[in-house]
Chain A
Amino acid sequence: MESLVQHLSARWSLGPWGQELLAAAAILLVAALVFVVALTYAGIITWVERRVAGRTQSRVGPNRVGPFGFLQWLADGAKMILKEDVIPAQADGPMFRLAPYACMLGVFTAFVSVPFGQLLIAADLNVGILFLLAITSLVVVGVLMAGWASNNKWSLLGGVRSAAQIVSYELPAGLAVLVVVLGAGSLSMQDIVRAQGGAPWNWFVFRDPFCLVAFFLYFTAAVAEGNRTPFDLPEAESELVAGYNTEYSGIRFGGFFLGEFANIYLLSAIATSLFLGGWQVPGVSPAEQAGSVWLQLLGFAIFFAKAWALVFVVVWLRWTLPRLRVDQLMGLCYRYLIPLAFACLLGTSLLLLAVVPGSALDLGLRLGTTGLGALGGALFAWRVAHHIRRAGDRVSLDVLQRGARGAFDPAWQTRRYGAFRKAARGQEER
């Protein structure tokens, strides 16, 4: 981006002011691009969530707008924009209006330093991951503002819960990130991705057992920071009506909504680049990848696939698990996750001292951890298959369908109401 601006300003022989203007225009263009990408991803995740929820719950989900209902999110967006933007009379007006922007800002700005590909990053900051952790904390400001400004007790409770939760869960998330930073020796997102490799045993998640635990810690904490089930207390429907966004409607509600869904992609993308090798293509070094457009595209596709797989997991969790209670939530964080994260940090640091990178011990550790992960995955798959087989033996969905058909079977209806009909006809004839 910088070189492009320099090139163009040299070609058009611009003065210092012209250069500044050109740079500003370029920044605006990139910002708009990032915003549109984030918005699109957030929208598509709403569709994914509704489809996955439908399938999880033995229903169909949206299937009217576009193929498989894919354009449903556009229709929903249009609906939200067209709806009346109600601001309660007793609300703190300016703060109420600003709150959704704070939420969106926190999430959408973070997309700036997400490495979608080797070259597809808006700004590879040298403090990248720190920036991400810091800027996403802005969400809590928005949530608190919304909770306070709504002048609604449920909103206030939601806001306070959210603040406590996000601030608490940033600790294990940050500590888990530190485990990775220790290994990579850099805070830059691209450097962290480059420090890994394309093959699973070169990913940070399988570098050693502590990293494996750190991955789960980060994922759990990030899901909690994103206010998703089982940690969705700030907007717990059955307790707090809708939590901090109870009073919001129209596109202002949409702001929170999009922020939340963009956050799902964000946490998946960060987890992918920190732990799952990001855009690295197996068997191809970053230098080789930089030289080829096709390898670049492949790298983007690999990143895309991994990130969306994690998005699916987040959605899947939401429709599977109940919600924790406030004290259980805090207990989980301070009693289990944070000590565990500290243990991981300590363990990784000791291993870094003891194991020489590239040695046989290092490779053995990596392969062993990968095997452990694969074993866990296989065990899970086996259990799922076992339960499906066991249930499939005995549960028959035919019964339900036969019942439904029976209820709408005209012959049956005639038989059932035949007597009434005959009597009615008899009366008419008379």
Chain B
Amino acid sequence: MSPELQQVGREEFVLNMGPHHPATHGVLRFVLHTDGEIMRRAVPEVGYLHRGLEKLAEAHTYAAYVPFTDRINYLESMFCNQVWSMAVERLLGLQVPRRAEYLRVIACELNRIANHCIALGSIAMDVGAYTPFVYLLREREAINDLLEALCGNRLTYHYVRIGGVAHDVDEGWQGKVRAYLDHLEPILDELHSLVGGNEILVRRLGGVAVICASDAVGWGLVGPNLRASGVDWDLRRDRPYSVYPELSFEVPVGRGEQGQVGDCYDRWTVRVAEMRQSVRLLRQALERLPAGDILAKVPRSIKPPAGEVYQPVEGARGELGLYLVSDGSPKPSRAKWRSSSFAALSIVEHLSRGLMIADLVALIASLDPIAPEVDR
């Protein structure tokens, strides 16, 4: 064989997917080493959306940093607010009023549903069905309206404040949320049967990019991605915080309905099931919402005693953690965010070998990473 012929099939086709690519949801970049359509390696390149949010924390007071936390992840900013507030409260040793805790749970679960609407919509969109995305955005719009009525903002809420929440609910707001939940539940059923039952979607997601449980734990996957791999782990239940121990809910786990446990389809079903559980949590929280204050007595100038704390919560994408160091001054000495999207992206290279380009797109969509949360 001539040397040229021997090279056939050994050459690599290097493709730059992103930072401007319709499937990378913002500014992620993947360098694909492929053999035609089949991937040898897909290396994620991060850092295109680095805004230095961790460093910024060191230049701002504890209370002034709350609006910055909205920008950590614009799709689950309620959780980012909550993590920051809970960490500072732990440093201060502050007790949050129970009404505020319930309001936090309500706001966060609404935010979780809104986030999963986008996640499921983009999974469907990335396998080529544009229409479910629009319908899910419509449902999310109603949540945006509800949260706007609650706190005046539609995306960057900074509703959860240190020591409680910013605003109390209007009269009639709870009724609106209940009406919305009544409206949402049949839509979730319809979504799962109509979109999730579509033969093409099932074949595009089922058995594709399987993450086994040990890999999922090893690469630090969290939240729905971890649970889709069959690991039954939810911080709301296993490391209880806020008022979650008082509420009853189930933790959905991937069962490999259309392929293997931990495939893209499981990451779809787990998210649908989580939305159902959020509806359940919301109903209970609205039922039990106690009367009382919404904000604890917080000192005008927040100066936590020197010390450090790691505070995780179960965000929409799983464990969202904050490591916070205080030196006793009004500004934090160090803040480090542990973001779920970053962990989710790190496993892509490990999984990418042998996938097709279209599978990679489905994998990225089903891991649901958000570029600002990856880079912070």
**Chain A interface residues (CB < 8 Å from chain B):** 56-59, 153-154, 157, 160-161, 229-230, 232-233, 236-241, 319-328, 391, 393-396, 399-400, 402-404, 406-407, 412, 415-417
Contact = CB atoms under 8 A, between A and B. Distances in A.
Given A326-B358, A415-B170, A403 B204 contact: no
17 contacts: A56-B131, A57-B134, A236-B128, A238-B361, A239-B23, A239-B361, A321-B200, A322-B200, A323-B128, A395-B183, A395-B187, A399-B182, A400-B139, A403-B141, A403-B145, A403-B176, A416-B167
A396 B358 contact: no
Which of B37, B139, B170, B359 neighbours the largest number of chain A CB atoms within 10 Å of its CB?
B37
Contacts of B241: none
Given A237-B22, A399-B180, A407-B145, A325 B131 contact: no
A298 to B, nearest CB: 37
Given A323-B204, A323-B358, 9 more contacts: A238-B23, A238-B125, A324-B200, A326-B37, A328-B204, A400-B139, A404-B142, A416-B152, A416-B167
Contacts of B356: 325-327
Interface string B166-189: 010010000010011011011100
A406 B149 contact: yes
B168 to A, nearest CB: 11
Contact of B138 (A58, A322, A328, A417): A58
B127 interface: yes
A58 B135 contact: yes
The secondary structure that dominates the A interface is: helix
Which of B124, B130, B200 neighbours the largest number of chain A CB atoms within 10 Å of its CB?
B130
A319 B21 CA distance: 21
B128 A157 contact: no
A323 B187 CA distance: 23
A237 B13 CA distance: 20
B15 interface: yes
Interface in B159-216: 167, 170, 176, 179-180, 182-183, 185-187, 190, 198, 200-201, 203-204
A46 B316 CA distance: 39
A230 B186 contact: no
Given A399-B183, A404-B145, A59 B134 contact: yes
Given A322-B198, A407-B149, A417-B152, A400 B131 contact: no
A279 B36 CA distance: 46
A346 to B, nearest CB: 28
A321 B125 CA distance: 10
The secondary structure that dominates the B interface is: helix
A264 B23 CA distance: 27
A323 B127 contact: yes
Contacts of A323: 127-129, 200, 204, 358
B128 A322 contact: yes
A327 to B, nearest CB: 7
B130 A399 contact: no
A90 to B, nearest CB: 15
Interface string B293-330: 00000000000000000000000000000000000000
Nearest to A57: B134
Contacts of B198: 321-322
B148 interface: yes
B169 to A, nearest CB: 11
A406 B145 contact: yes
B357 interface: yes
Contact of B148 (A240, A391, A407): A407
A395 B186 contact: yes
Contacts of B179: 396, 399, 402
Nearest to A240: B357
Name the 7 nearest CB pairs between A and B, nearest first: A323-B128, A403-B145, A394-B186, A322-B129, A57-B134, A399-B183, A322-B128
B275 to A, nearest CB: 15
B146 interface: yes
A9 to B, nearest CB: 56
Contacts of B201: 322
Interface string B106-150: 000000000000000000111111110011001101100110110
Contacts of B15: 153-154
B359 A399 contact: no
A239 B358 contact: yes
A321 B180 CA distance: 28
Given A321-B128, A391-B186, A406 B21 contact: no
Contacts of A229: 128
Given A241-B21, A394-B186, A400-B138, A319 B149 contact: no
A157 B185 CA distance: 42
Contacts of B200: 230, 321-324
B23 A322 contact: no
A282 B131 CA distance: 39
B129 A328 contact: no
Contacts of A320: 129, 131
B130 A319 contact: yes
Contacts of B152: 416-417
B22 A400 contact: no
Given A322-B124, A324-B200, A328-B203, A57 B131 contact: yes
A160 B36 CA distance: 10
A252 to B, nearest CB: 21
Nearest to A326: B37
A174 to B, nearest CB: 25
Given A399-B180, A407-B149, A412 B141 contact: no
Contacts of B125: 238
Contacts of A403: 141-142, 145-146, 149, 176, 180
B359 A325 contact: yes
Interface in B346-366: 356-359, 361
Contacts of B203: 324-325, 328
Nearest to A154: B15
Contacts of A328: 203-204
B140 to A, nearest CB: 11
B129 A321 contact: yes
Contacts of A402: 176, 179
